[in-house]
Structure 1
């Protein structure tokens, strides 16, 4: 579970690499494993969020001093990010896009921490539960299928989520 925590902060190898053999070895516990990995992943995400938040507050005054117009550009970016922040959290939490970047970015921008945690929990659980369930149900074949179709599956999920938010 520790891997899922540090992967959300800095570890370059996705949790899935360790999840596959773990689920295959303990198939009956796939739901418990998915829940625990989700919790640790989101805890790591919260740490990354606060790292982004606090480090950015230290670094940004220096950047604005050396780069005129930086604050103006940052404010424009922040406004755009806040408009689609939930979508970006879900994309980062579910897709192959590195979740740690989503976490740091959310902290830098200052997305509401409760919104960040809620949508991180939802998207990370969906990702880890689906992978765990398919590994439980279909075994080793799932690893091949996920490797082949993960980008397509992620795209479909994100597209449905965006459509849902638009028509909400």
Structure 2
């Protein structure tokens, strides 16, 4: 099953609709969708490394737009924002993020935007906390662009050589990725 999904994503990455799909996933991931952008971005860059930075730009723009949507959900649709926070396992998310904002300010957005922690938590919580929108927007542009352009550079530089290794040991790399993803959530809970 894992091989079929991997092959499907690679096929989609080379399709004429890949960039539109990446943009849609990027918007949705930053506001409501539970799947990380890298599920599409990485295969797209590996299948067409000459377009790595174009794909990073699409993911960045889509993620910032989705971040604004997440912020607006938290700011104007408080009940929906709180429900989404509970759904994502952060029932006390507003109080927790408010404490982080009071203590660390914009650094919360900058650091969490670079980590595997779902960005939608930051966007919705920022709206719920009525964090300054201008600062939120600028921090989102910086952090999301930095993340996706760094990933594009790494995958463009070393990805093609790594692709053969990943394909030979797909199950192992999937387990490693899952451990890192779960570890990110565990670290968030412990903090």
Deviation at 1:83, TM superposition (A): 3.8
The corresponding residue for 1:12 is 34
Give distance in 2, aligned partners of 1:137 and 1:59.
39
Length-normalised TM-score, structure 2:
0.63
Secondary structure of the structure 2 residue equivalent to 1:51: helix
Length-normalised TM-score, structure 1:
0.70
Aligned residues: 138
Deviation at 1:139, TM superposition (A): 1.2
Larger RCO, structures 1/2 (Cα 8 Å, 6+ apart): 1
Q: Given the alignment, which residue of 115, 118, 127 partners 1:95?
A: 115
Contact 1:34 1:125 (C-alpha < 8 Å) held by counterparts: yes
1:84 aligns with 2:104: yes
C-alpha change, 1:125 and 1:150, in structure 2 (3 Å) is farther
C-alpha change, 1:150 and 1:28, in structure 2 (3 Å) is farther
Secondary structure of the structure 1 residue equivalent to 2:105: helix
The corresponding residue for 1:131 is 151
5+ residue gaps, structure 1: 61-72, 155-168
Bigger helix share: 1
Q: Given the alignment, which residue of 126, 132, 143 partners 1:106?
A: 126
